[in-house]
Amino acid sequence: MGKEVRAKKHLGQHFLKDEAIAEKIGDTLTLEGYKNVLEIGPGMGVLTKYLIQKDIEVIAMDLDTESIAYLEENYPHKNLKILEADFLKYDLSKLFGQEQFAITGNFPYNISTQIVFKMLELKEQIPEFTGMFQKEVAQRICEKEGSKAYGILSVLAQAFYDAEYLFTVPPSVFNPPPKVDSGVLRLRRKENISLPCDEKMLYKVVKTAFQQRRKTLRNSLKSFNLSDKIKEDAIFGLRPEQLSVSQFIALTQKLQTDAI
Is 2 part of any domain?
no
Same domain for 156 and 211, yes or no, is no
Residue where a domain terminates, one of 189, 216, 233: 189
Which pLDDT does position 145 carry in this prediction? 97
Is 23 part of any domain?
yes
Nearest CA among 90, 51, 82 for reference residue 66:
82
Domain count, the chain: 2
Is 3 part of any domain?
no
Same domain for 153 and 234, yes or no, is no
Same domain for 175 and 229, yes or no, is no
Which pLDDT does position 240 carry in this prediction? 97
Q: Give the H/E segment covering residue 116.
A: helix 112-121
Q: What are the backbone angles phi and psi of residue 64, rounded to the nearest 5°?
A: -90, 115
Same domain for 97 and 40, yes or no, is yes
Which pLDDT does position 77 carry in this prediction? 85
Same domain for 16 and 70, yes or no, is yes
Which pLDDT does position 101 carry in this prediction? 97
CATH of the domain at 204: 1.10.8.100
pLDDT digits (tens, 9 = 90+) for 8-67: 455 545 678 899 999 999 999 999 999 999 999 998 899 999 999 999 999 999 988 888
Same domain for 241 and 140, yes or no, is no
Which pLDDT does position 43 carry in this prediction? 86
Same domain for 79 and 203, yes or no, is no
Residue where a domain terminates, one of 189, 220, 250: 189
Same domain for 51 and 176, yes or no, is yes
Same domain for 43 and 137, yes or no, is yes
Same domain for 23 and 114, yes or no, is yes
Residue where a domain terminates, one of 189, 210, 226: 189
Provide the domain limits for residue 228: 199-259
Mode of pairing for the β-strands spanning 57-62 and 36-40: parallel
- Cβ burial, residue 98 (10 Å; 0-12/13-18/19+): exposed
Tell me the pTM.
0.93
Is 194 part of any domain?
no
Same domain for 214 and 96, yes or no, is no
**Torsion region of 9: left, alpha or beta (phi above 0 gives left; psi -120 to 50 gives alpha):** alpha
Same domain for 35 and 147, yes or no, is yes
* Residues of the chain where predicted confidence (pLDDT) is lower than 70: 1-3, 5-14, 259-260
